[in-house]
Amino acid sequence: MRATAEVVICGAGIAGVAAAYHLAVRGAIRDVMLVDERPPLSLTSDKSTECYRNWWPGPGDAMVAVMNRSIDLLEDLARESHNAFRLNRRGYLFATAEPTTLSRFRRAAGEAAALGAGPLRVHATASSDYAPAPADGFEDQPTGADLITDPDLIRRHFPYLATDTVGALHVRRCGWFSGQQLGMYLLERARERGVRLLEGRVERVETAGGRVRGVVVETPDGSGTISTPRFVIAVGPFLRHVAGLLGVELPVFSERHVKIAFSDGVGAIPRDAPMLIWADPVRLPWSEEERAELASSDAHRELLDELPAGVHGRPEGGPGSATVLLLWNYDLRPVEPTFPLEFDPIYPELVIRGMARMIPGLSAYLVRLPRCVVDGGYYAKTRENRFLAGPLPVEGAYVIGALSGYGLMASNGAADLLADYICARPLPRYAPAFRFDRYQDPGYAKLLEQWGETGQF
């Protein structure tokens, strides 16, 4: 095989597919080759919970600004496709039973408002005008957040929450969509504009005079070279490896994240619920016998301790579906990405127990666990949890990745930014926050040392 392309994109996950779309459909670069050794969208991008939010911490407003841009693009795509990927705007509902957490909610909402996520509305009486979100659609909805502190109002709108819930923060420019359908929509539009998809593994990148010249690909029909002046790395958990082919060391690592899906036959989570997140740490109520068993297990002893806040879940699927998704990833030590992933057999029970703290109706499943589908993947991340989109030190080489736990929601914003570089368009104000060379800036290195919240839960 001997071929040419104006741009070769390595990786057809959501990042690579969105990059191809933004170059060929919204930009004017038609001669794009997408190379992937796997079927498109099949490694990490189909393991996601498929949620989105414009609710991100600082420092600075770059993260909120790029997410607002990405969600604007998602909404445009939803409008033009007659909502082919079922974008909703149900919001994220953070709930707490700790009165002290209310001030944290207020602080976070104040910060988010200052960064551009929208205003905070506080509902402290039962007659307050809190407006719940519709189950479907995304138009004409508020931004910002509603903080509900009146117990009757909480009970009226969210009767399925634990009765000791003292506050609920409903963040509004958030929801979910079908990531697979979004990805296929982007890929089809890109292919209509001439983007080619090649099955193969990128083995080498050829350079001359400090510039990209070609990409060597191992395909099922043998090895071949694609001559190209531009190479985009969009390889999810393999960023370090593929950037290494260019002699570039990317400051990224991987965390393992797992989710479960099961049929909620008892209807513990209503079908029109928003994304539900318990904001308090949880100490699980084990029996004496279970405690003794866990105490004697090196792998599971820590389950007796208080486990971190952030267990979350949501209903999944349209009419007729009873599926719910739940996640609680508390072991976030960096790992080498290996496939297939292995799952701890105790995880489904653990996550149901954790979520039952927020939704007591889920306790019905602790008598006899439901049949769960367990899957997951790796968050490829930078230490401050901000992605990479832009040029690399080798001329003609670019990266779009380290999209962590937000790659579906951010991929349009990141790909639009990447296309700004490649199509030589003016760059948005937030561009420097996502460049690889930010790590060379001594001011940024200082900022990194004091970095607080990363916006992950």
Q: How far is the CB of 326 from ligand FAD (least distance, A)?
A: 11
* CA triple 218-223-224, angle to 5 deg: 105
Give whichever of 312 and 438 is closer to ligand FAD, judged by the CB atom. 312
Contacts (CB under 6 A) with ligand FAD, residues 38-77: 38, 43-45, 47-52
- For ligand FAD, the binding residues in 388-427 under the rule CB under 6 A are 401, 403-409
Of 32-40, 281-289, 300-308, 358-366: span binding ligand FAD (CB under 6 A): 32-40
Closest distance of CB 189 from ligand FAD, Å: 17
- C-alpha angle with apex 389: 21 to 384, nearest 5 degrees? 135
Tell me the backbone φ, ψ of residue 329, rounded to 5 degrees.
-105, 100
CB of 62 to ligand FAD, least distance (A): 17
**Minimum Å distance from CB 250 to ligand FAD?**
13
Nearest to 145 by CA among 315, 277, 285: 277
CB-based contact 140:164 (threshold 8 Å): no
Residue 144 binds ligand FAD (CB under 6 A): no
Instruction: Select the residue interacting with ligand FAD from 29, 62, 87, 202 (CB under 6 A).
Output: 202
Inter-CA distances, 212 with 31, 202, 372, 373, 395, Å: 16, 14, 47, 43, 6
Query: String of b and e for 220-229 (b: at least 16 CB within 10 Å)?
Result: eeeebbbebe
Nearer of residues 118 and 200 to ligand FAD, judged by Cβ: 200
Q: Where are the beta strands (DSSP E) in 172-310?
A: 174-176, 196-199, 201-208, 211-219, 222-227, 231-233, 253-263, 275-278
- Considering the complex, what minimum distance in angstroms separates the CB of residue 119 from ligand FAD? 24
Q: How many CB atoms lie within 10 A of CB 169?
A: 26
- How many CB atoms sit inside 10 A of residue 172's CB? 25
Three-state secondary-structure class, residue 79? helix
Q: Residue 324 — φ and ψ, nearest 5°?
A: -125, 150
User: How near is the Cβ of 144 to ligand FAD at its closest, in Å?
Assistant: 20
- Scanning 5-13, 102-110, 188-196, 446-454 for contacts with ligand FAD by CB under 6 A, the matching segment is 5-13
Q: Which is nearer to ligand FAD, 80 or 375 (CB)?
A: 375
Residue from 161, 234, 351, 399 binding ligand FAD (CB under 6 A): 234
Q: Which of 257, 312, 314, 381 is the binder for ligand FAD (CB under 6 A)?
A: 257
Edge-to-edge strands, sheet with 196-199: 196-199, 32-36, 7-10, 231-233, 397-401, 388-391
The smaller minimum CB distance to ligand FAD, of residues 16 and 167, is found at 16
Q: Which C-beta is closer to ligand FAD: that of 143 or that of 254? A: 254
Phi–psi pair at 216, nearest 5 degrees: -95, 125
Q: Contacting ligand FAD (CB under 6 A), which of 33, 36, 177, 398?
A: 36
Give the footprint of ligand FAD on this chain (CB under 6 A): 10-16, 35-38, 43-45, 47-52, 201-202, 234-238, 242, 257, 259, 376-377, 401, 403-409
